[in-house]
Amino acid sequence: MLESFGFVADLRAATSGQAFPQCVFDHWALMAGDALDPCDKLGSLVCSIRKRKNCSSIEVPGLEKYYDKL
C-alpha cells in the first residue's frame, strides 16, 4: 500500500487524465519478524507507524505500562 502513493497522479499525467486506477483488496499476509525489535524489518515498520501517528514514544511500551496498578 505504501508503494501506491503518488501512482494515481503519475498515471493520470502519463495518460492525459484518461486512465483511472481501481484498487481491489486481495489478501492479508503475516509478516515474519519481531515487532518489538527496532532493528528488525517488522520492528522498523511498527516504529515508523508510531512516529507517523505521533505516539508518545516511538518504541513499543512494555507490558508493565498496561498492568492494572490497583
Residue 2, pLDDT above cutoff 70: no
**DSSP code string of 6-59:** THHHHHHHHTTT------------PPPS-TT-TTSHHHHHHHHHHHHTT-S-SS
CB 31 within 8 A of CB 42: yes
Residue 20, in any domain of the structure = yes
Residue 70, in any domain of the structure = no
- Reported as a single tens digit per residue, the pLDDT across 12-38 is 899 988 888 887 889 999 989 998 898
Instruction: State the total domains in the chain.
Output: 1
Residue 23 to residue 25: CA distance in whole angstroms: 7
Residue 55 to residue 48: CA distance in whole angstroms: 10
**Full domain range(s) for residue 49:** 2-65
Residue 51, in any domain of the structure = yes
Confidence of residue 54 (pLDDT cuts 50, 70, 90): very high
| Mean pLDDT, all residues of the chain | 86
Residue 50, in any domain of the structure = yes
